[in-house]
Amino acid sequence: MKLFRFFAVGILFGIVLTKSEAISWYRIYEMFMFQSFHMYGIIGIAVITGVCGIRFIKKKEIKDYKGQPIEILDKEKSIARYLFGGIMFGLGWGLVGSCPGPIFILLGTGVPAIAVVLFGALLGTYLYGLLKDKLPH
Amino acid sequence: MEFITNTWHWSVSGFLIGVVMLLLTYFGKTFGMSSNLRTICSMSGGSKTASYFNFDWREQKWNLAIVLGSIVGGFIAYHFLGNASNIDINPKTIAQLQHIGIDAPNGKFLPDALFSMEALTSPKGFLLLLLGGFLIGFGTPYAGGCTSGHAISGLSNFQLPSLIAVVGFFVGGLVMAHFLIPIIF
């Protein structure tokens, strides 16, 4: 059951995002309208927790569960792809109020309309795959 | 039990999301939900048409296990850990939404104006959902990640590319919320 630990982490992730209402269209809209601190608080604390954890892992040279050294790869340098891709994703995030994680989680809460969003997302990724070499990266 | 059934405080939720990311790091993986879109395309035969999908998707089974888990997690939280009846949106936001014709939450996660069966079966509603999904699906692999991969994992490791991506996310989201949503609805 090598995959079970990932399944369990997924359950935790789904519960946290549902109970914090980060999967709610209203919470995302409220965030982009600067009318609530809720989402900024969630992302901010997640990043602070992450920064502390990653620093601890690097400093103490913590090994992963298999005893291998943990290697955290740097992201490839560029501006165009992050900015253009980021703006496209932001437009979609602002419109349907869900990023890729919440799309799956909302399926679990039983919203049929989310299946159309997921289908659109797969279509988008497929088209990106076809056009990848023609886009500025 | 109220601390479970009510909205979870942002500090608790943020901490747990950070823990999810660190757990995956400890398991030797990188937290990122949008990679699954590529994996599903590859599994569905995309590798025949574009080299981008030509990789061994079996190596991504762990991430698909997270997807399955998150669907189950959403189901559990929605049905057994209380509902969103206390969803507490800024009254100013609700008034503004009403003004542009979007219904108040009243215990719902999602507005009927965009997600009800009625919206889903109308041509405009269907196209909006498809377009939103399309922008997410095209934008995240282009940017090399989404909220989990860039905003959480990337920023936690002080990655400048992730900061650029997050600025992009917000430029797109702000333009949509402030200028486009009032025109669309």
Could you report the average pLDDT of every consecutive run of 10 residues in chain B (185 residues)?
87 98 95 96 90 94 98 96 77 95 93 97 97 98 95 95 97 98 94
Of A44, A65, A130, the CB nearest to B26: A65
What span, in angstroms and rounded, lies between the C-alpha atoms of B79 and A14?
A: 13
Q: How far is B185 from chain A (nearest CA, A)?
A: 11
Enter the ipTM.
Answer: 0.96
Q: How far is B117 from chain A (nearest CA, A)?
A: 7
The answer to whether A36 contacts B13, with C-beta atoms less than 8 Å apart, is no
Instruction: Report the pLDDT value the prediction gives residue B3, as an integer from 0 to 100.
Output: 80
> To which H or E segment does residue B16 belong?
helix B10-26
**Integer CA distances (angstroms), A111 to A12, A71, B115, B119, B123, in order:** 20, 38, 8, 12, 18
Residue of A nearest to B102 (CA): A26
As a whole-number percent, the residues of chain A with pLDDT over 70 amount to: 99
Helix axes B35-43, A100-108, angle to 10 degrees: 70
What residues in A contact B109, CB-CB < 8 Å? 21, 23-26, 106, 109, 111
What span, in angstroms and rounded, lies between the C-alpha atoms of A128 and A72?
A: 26
Of B15, B34, B120, the CB nearest to A112: B120
Strand blocks (E) in A54-133: none
Predicted confidence (pLDDT) per residue in A55-110, tens digit: 999 999 999 988 899 988 899 999 999 999 999 999 999 999 999 999 999 999 99
Instruction: Report the pLDDT value the prediction gives residue A84, as an integer from 0 to 100.
Output: 97
Instruction: Report the pLDDT value the prediction gives residue B132, as an integer from 0 to 100.
Output: 98
Q: What is the distance between the terminal CA atoms of chain A, rounded to a whole angstrom?
A: 39
> To which H or E segment does residue A82 belong?
helix A80-96
Optimal mutation site among A1, A66, A78, A125, interface B, most CBs of chain B within 10 A: A125
What residues in A contact B142, CB-CB < 8 Å? 81, 84-85, 88-89, 128, 135
Strand blocks (E) in chain B: none
Instruction: Report the pLDDT value the prediction gives residue B60, as an integer from 0 to 100.
Output: 96
The answer to whether B141 contacts A128, with C-beta atoms less than 8 Å apart, is yes
Instruction: Report the pLDDT value the prediction gives residue B88, as an integer from 0 to 100.
Output: 84
Query: What residue spans define the domains of chain B?
Result: 1-82
What residues in B contact A8, CB-CB < 8 Å? 69
Return the structure tokens found at A99: 């990023």
Instruction: Report the pLDDT value the prediction gives residue B46, as an integer from 0 to 100.
Output: 87
Instruction: Report the pLDDT value the prediction gives residue B1, as an integer from 0 to 100.
Output: 73
What residues in B contact A111, CB-CB < 8 Å? 109-110, 115
Predicted confidence (pLDDT) per residue in A21-67, tens digit: 999 999 999 999 999 999 999 999 999 999 999 999 999 999 998 88
The secondary structure of residue B150, as a DSSP letter, is I
